[in-house]
A and B are shown apart, each in its own frame.
Chain A
């Protein structure tokens, strides 16, 4: 399957798609930076020991999260999680989701003895930005005991976290809408794919390269050209048989 464009035109189409794909999540990260600023002003020493951010501080966070959910159509949920080195078994997480037309607080189960336990400190969206210290976009994954659905999560570490406390603010994106938009953006450069840092497809124009599949698992397609989306840690690739 080859598109109608020649090599130079495909490369231009890919460059255009690259900037458009970065632009898709730019407003998400803008909101996350605001949320991170808010989170950095909260005193989390006690909260990470008790699991509760006291009222009225939590309201500040809620306002920022609601603004993100209301302000960016792609965002389906947003919030913050923090854990202290001193209380690794506790942690605190506050999250808000869109339910119908309302934004409601979603309470995750943070009790390790429960079958519904949401172990956020071992989740990719928490660990990757905590380790890298940079904004991160987590490629589609099933968020078990969270959304329980295929999810893309944008996350950034909160600056000025107190010593020994790791704080991450994050937003879940509507994965189906995101992939649909990416597929449309890369279609002119077809055959092409958006791949994550592990060379797994986020979206592609090739039916057999489904979301999640590693490019190396297909014998038919090879990468002809690529543009690295440095801010996302992902790449856009032109494919050839």
Chain B
């Protein structure tokens, strides 16, 4: 196959990536950047074989110098998390084998205080419930189908990482069904911020089942345009996860 001369390629305009690669507030250091990328890879937000933006674009996005970014990538290469191919058609790609995602999730979640955890749940409840209420008024037939498929994905998830991804995508689809770009942005932000907590919570199969059931009921309420009911079920689903997360935190995130 012929290689195509590489021109300007936009790998950053997807919101999940913009959230992951949010500019660093102060003069970033290689360690901070490497840590952010390491967490995203360990949690499965950046998947195996996923191509990262070019070094120039990524450095500009992080608001760091290309030299600093290269140092961060060197750190990740040494840890076996990325590989870099030089030359035309090259780039930095997320590589396997996948690390212990449960351990990575515990490390990430352990940095959350009880106040952080409460705050994230509050924000998630607000976004989820309002998305559900608006979706009940505005969702299309195709939205219903996507939401139903999302519930099935959560029900059939083979492990905690799959369940976490299915849950996040359900809420993002719900926000999309509300037709609000701002709610969608907030929901995608939460996909990243809450990833470690959700992965740990969904290691518990009973919680997975409880949430699936609630999301199925919520989807039915959206389809039937029951605005208040949809909002209530969305809040309940968030609360089931929040309660489990609080319990896990109290026990040092270690129980399964």
Contacts and interface: CB of A to CB of B under 8 A. Distances in A.
B49 interface: yes
B39 interface: no
B25 interface: no
A111 B168 CA distance: 16
A6 to B, nearest CB: 33
B225 A148 contact: no
Interface string A172-210: 000000000000000000000000101010000000000
Given A105-B8, A144-B172, A144-B184, A127 B142 contact: yes
B180 interface: yes
Nearest to B134: A212
Interface in B25-83: 44-51
B149 A122 contact: yes
Contacts of B250: none
A109 B14 contact: yes
Chain B interface category by residue count: 35 or more
Interface string A119-157: 000101001100000000001111111111110000000
Contacts, number: 124
Contact of B4 (A54, A142, A150, A200): A54
Interface in A78-110: 97, 99, 102, 104-109
Interface in B128-167: 137-138, 140-143, 146, 149, 165
B5 interface: yes
B115 interface: no
A59 B7 CA distance: 11
B13 A116 contact: no
Interface in A55-70: 55-56, 58-59
Given A115-B191, A148-B14, A213 B175 contact: no
Interface string B69-108: 0000000000000000000000000000000000000000
A37 B168 CA distance: 39
Given A52-B1, A122-B146, A140 B14 contact: no
Interface residues of A, number: 47
Contact of B2 (A55, A105, A109): A55
A214 interface: yes
Given A142-B180, A144-B173, A102 B8 contact: yes
Nearest to A99: B10
Contacts of B8: 102, 104-105
A105 B16 contact: no
A139 B140 CA distance: 10
B243 interface: no
A217 B5 contact: no
Contact of A114 (B15, B50, B137, B179): B50
Contacts of B188: 144, 148
A148 B184 contact: yes
A145 B179 contact: no
Contact of B179 (A118, A142, A148): A142
B232 interface: no
Contacts of B177: 142
Contact of A106 (B10, B44, B138, B192): B10
A107 B11 contact: yes
B179 A116 contact: no
Contacts of B47: 111, 113-115
A40 interface: no
Contact of A116 (B14, B173, B175, B195): B14
Interface string B16-28: 1100000000000
B185 interface: yes
A211 interface: yes
Contacts of B175: 142, 144
A150 B16 contact: no
Contact of A124 (B48, B142, B179): B142
Please provide the 5 A-B residue pairs with the shortest distance between their CB atoms, ordered closest to farther: A55-B4, A142-B176, A212-B138, A212-B179, A114-B47
25 contacts: A55-B3, A56-B4, A105-B8, A107-B51, A108-B14, A113-B44, A114-B46, A115-B45, A116-B16, A122-B149, A141-B140, A141-B142, A141-B176, A142-B180, A142-B181, A142-B184, A143-B176, A144-B172, A144-B188, A148-B13, A148-B184, A148-B185, A211-B179, A212-B137, A217-B137
Given A59-B4, A142-B180, A149-B184, 12 more contacts: A54-B1, A58-B4, A105-B8, A115-B169, A115-B192, A124-B142, A144-B173, A150-B179, A198-B140, A212-B138, A214-B137, A216-B225
